[in-house]
Amino acid sequence: MLIGWLVFGPFLWALLCVLAGNRNEDARDRVAAVAVISELALSVCLLFHSSAWNLSGILAGGLTFGNDGFRSVYSILTSFLWAACTLFSREYFAHEPEHLNRFWFFMLVTLGAVQGVMLSQDFMTAFIFFEILSFTSFTWVIHEETEEAIHAGVTYLFIAVIGGLSLFLGLAFLQHETGTLVFESLREAASGAGNPALVLAAGFCILAGFGAKAGMFPLHVWLPKAHPAAPSPASALLSGILTKVGVYGILMLALSAMAGNRIFGLVLLFLGVITMFLGALMGLLSVHLKHTLACSSMSQIGFILTGLGTMMLLEAAGHEEAAGMALCGAMLHMVNHSLLKLTLFLCAGVVVMNLHTAELNDIRGWGRNKPAFMLAFGLGGLGISGVPLFNGYLSKTLLHEGIVEAGLEIAGSGRMFSVIEWIFLISGGMTFAYMLKLFFCLFVEQGPKITKDSAAAESTKAMRPLTAAVVAGPSLFMIILGQPFLSTRLVSYMSGNEHILSFRAFTPENLKGSLISLGIGAALYLLVVRGLMTREGKLRKLWPAWLDLEESVYRPALTKVLPEIFGRLAAVFAENRLLVPLAKGVLLAGAVLGRLMDIGTDGLILLLRSTLFRERKVQGAGEQRAGLMRRILVEMEDAGEPLAANFTTALFLTCVGILIILGAILLGGRR
């Protein structure tokens, strides 16, 4: 029952937290703190409890949860990050009490959903909780309710919904072909499947679903927008944990259904390399603190995916020991990145909390007289840059060694992996360059005159003692996990690989790779940041339009290509007298159904606002219900407008398409 409390306990705590908040804000904050600390204690107990826990009667086969080294470590890590962000939030939101009941409720529900994914033993259980956290974390992104936050939230939700539909389609294919979705059974079932092409297609659909949450190229467009828009505690969790939920799904897929599949491994490797390089480039050219850290998260996810792709190719070639090294590097970098982004985003939160901005030109020199803050941010920067003796060095060295081994061991791939190795080193160099940019901007450069609104920022005391402990405490892990004696034992426990204990991190060859990367980073900082981006003491944007795929690719496709297609279809319908009435009937039925669902959703929101959340009554709610048929007829007149302009319609049509495909699968199975 321990795992059951870990997964479903936060849902109960969320209700209790909101009920307490309706009476007393301090009571709500205390309940939230007790909830996350108790979750952390239960996660620690999980280390000594290795039995599986089943909840039968829910869906086909029931929800299944289990525990092993990797799951228990990430359960503790999840609880630790939530506890740190919860304690940090008390000061962060001290002067912005709006919508805190909503924030705490969805924060705790998301905690339970993340635990549900990380402790799942089959893809269906993971999928259910994966979808829950997609919608609950959406409220984090729009919490500020600014225009930027709403736009970022819509992008996040769109990618999450499309990713979820793709994931569900892939699971349907996989279940149909293998007869199981249990991680332990899938490897053997997939290898003996009668239609390997269908299994591979399922793998790509599942990769798209989990990759959307991980921030993998080309589904990364939400990540650079959502992180800066969300409150800093939420940004730390989005980057530190929620992206790892997507990586967890890809990891389980790579170790089960797609194990030994060379084609899937190649695709994953190339997507990982592009994600790694593109994220680092975007971070280098950014002039916003949180946006830079968001792009950094994308790049570090690319490092992890590159390791997983390398592991799959080595395993397919029969080199198990080298594959284990790449896998250990990916797992260890997951842990390191979670802790690194906790520290760095909380440091960004301290800046925003005091200055109410994160633009680099506005925050220059703010940290010059704050040694504790400088130490925490500096340790985070050293760790993520892969400097020897800090935590990122060992995980990146393992990943680098995996790439080198793949180039030597896999026949005919030496040139390809040589190119990938240099992209890996250059991406690491760009990481060091943009961390130098942030550090020098905050702590070295002479800043602008402190404004009247931020006069308190001149003090060396930028935060309360508890907040300082929360920010500086996790930064010590950058040193602790930088010691090979501890890191190798941790990753050996997570992966079950005892050979990694003999790995020597500080050999001349490994140090050479790190020094090359750091040298590239220093050169990029001097040439790009100081040479091209800095003018008159200020950073200016060097942002090519093509880097923003949403504006350069996706939006033109939705606003130009799709309307053209729909226009031609409309012309075909207009030439057929039978199709016109049929199309109008379908549109009328869809409009009525959509409006009924819309009214039901509005009613539910109003009910929650007036009871559970006790927010202000929405003005004009009664007017929204008036003239229903008139509004439906107006919508019928506008039905010829580009469907890409209607987010709800696009999602509805996508769901219809998925249902048609699933129906075809079911009919095919019966035959």
Query: Mind listing the pLDDT tens digit for each residue in 77-90?
Result: 999 999 999 888 88
Contact 198, 173 (CB under 8 A): yes
Is 172 contained in some domain?
yes
445 and 565 in a single domain? The answer is: no
Supply the pTM of this predicted model: 0.83
Map 571-582 to HEC letters: HHHHCCCCHHHH
DSSP of 484-528: HHHHHHHHHHHH--SGGGG--TT-HHHHHHHHHHHHHHHHHIIII
Residue 633, token pair as written in the block: 């007829």
Question: Does position 492 have pLDDT exceeding 50, yes or no?
Answer: yes
519 and 623 in a single domain? The answer is: no
Domain edge (last residue) among 508, 524, 542: 542
Which has the minimum average pLDDT: 150-154, 185-189, 626-630?
626-630
Angle between helices 196-214 and 123-141 (to 10 degrees): 30
pLDDT band at 636 (very low <50, low <70, confident <90, very high): very low
319 and 404 in a single domain? The answer is: yes
505-528 average pLDDT score: 91
Mean pLDDT of all residues belonging to the chain? 80
Overall domain count for the chain: 2
Among 316, 361, 353, 307, which Cα is nearest to 334's?
307
Q: Which of 562 and 163 is assigned the larger pLDDT?
A: 163
Question: Does position 666 have pLDDT exceeding 60, yes or no?
Answer: no
Among 335, 333, 348, 346, which Cα is nearest to 286's?
348
Residue-range definition of the domain harbouring residue 577: 546-670
538 and 587 in a single domain? The answer is: no
CA distance 626 to 229: 35
569 and 592 in a single domain? The answer is: yes
Residue with tokens 């901007």: 441
Contact 76, 40 (CB under 8 A): yes
Among 437, 491, 443, 239, which Cα is nearest to 342's?
239
514 and 441 in a single domain? The answer is: yes
596 and 485 in a single domain? The answer is: no
pLDDT at 632: 42
CA distance 474 to 451: 31
Is 250 contained in some domain?
yes
Map 117-170 to HEC letters: HHCECEHHHHHHHHHHHHHHHHHHHCCCCCHHHHHHHHHHHHHHHHHHHHHHHH
99-121 average pLDDT score: 86
Is 292 contained in some domain?
yes
pLDDT at 176: 85
CA distance 383 to 560: 45
Which has the minimum average pLDDT: 154-158, 295-299, 343-347?
154-158
602 and 572 in a single domain? The answer is: yes
Is 77 contained in some domain?
yes
pLDDT at 457: 45
DSSP-derived 3-state class of residue 183: helix
CA distance 300 to 275: 8
217 and 279 in a single domain? The answer is: yes
- The percentage of the chain sitting over the pLDDT mark of 70, rounded to a whole number, equals 77
Domain edge (last residue) among 493, 522, 542: 542
Q: What are phi and psi of 243, to 5 degrees?
A: -65, -30
pLDDT at 567: 65
pLDDT at 396: 93
301 and 364 in a single domain? The answer is: yes
CA 564 centroid distance within chain:
34
430-454 average pLDDT score: 78
Among 190, 211, 169, 50, which Cα is nearest to 121's?
50
pLDDT at 571: 65
Contact 370, 108 (CB under 8 A): no
pLDDT at 340: 93
Domain edge (last residue) among 480, 509, 542: 542
Residue with tokens 């979750």: 39
Is 196 contained in some domain?
yes
Is 455 contained in some domain?
no
Distances (CA, A) of 610 to 22, 458, 477, 605, 607: 11, 43, 44, 9, 5
DSSP-derived 3-state class of residue 64: strand
Instruction: Name the DSSP class of 444.
Output: T
Question: pLDDT tens, 32-51?
Answer: 788 888 888 878 877 776 54
pLDDT at 453: 46
pLDDT at 26: 72
Distances (CA, A) of 628 to 327, 334, 605, 625, 633: 57, 51, 19, 6, 9
Is 74 contained in some domain?
yes
Chain length of the chain? 671
470-492 average pLDDT score: 89
473 and 558 in a single domain? The answer is: no
Contact 40, 80 (CB under 8 A): yes
What does the radius of gyration of the chain's CA atoms come to, in whole angstroms?
Answer: 25
Q: Which residues contact 41 (CB under 8 A, 6 or more apart)?
A: none
pLDDT at 266: 93
Distances (CA, A) of 549 to 274, 283, 456, 545, 564: 13, 15, 40, 8, 21
pLDDT at 498: 85
DSSP of 231-269: -HHHHHHIIIIIHHHHHHHHHHHHHTTTTT-HHHHHHHH
CA 620 centroid distance within chain:
37
Q: Which of 327 and 576 is assigned the larger pLDDT?
A: 327
Is 534 contained in some domain?
yes
383 and 324 in a single domain? The answer is: yes
DSSP-derived 3-state class of residue 65: strand
Distances (CA, A) of 52 to 63, 329, 336, 378: 11, 27, 27, 41
Among 426, 495, 429, which Cα is nearest to 74's?
495
332, burial (CB in 10 Å: exposed 0-12, middle 13-18, buried 19+): buried
Q: Which residues contact 137 (CB under 8 A, 6 or more apart)?
A: 106, 110, 234, 237, 238, 242
CA distance 264 to 262: 6
What is the helix (H) or strand (E) element at residue 78, kind and residue range?
Answer: helix 69-92
Instruction: Name the DSSP class of 285.
Output: H
Which has the minimum average pLDDT: 355-359, 512-516, 520-524, 605-609?
605-609
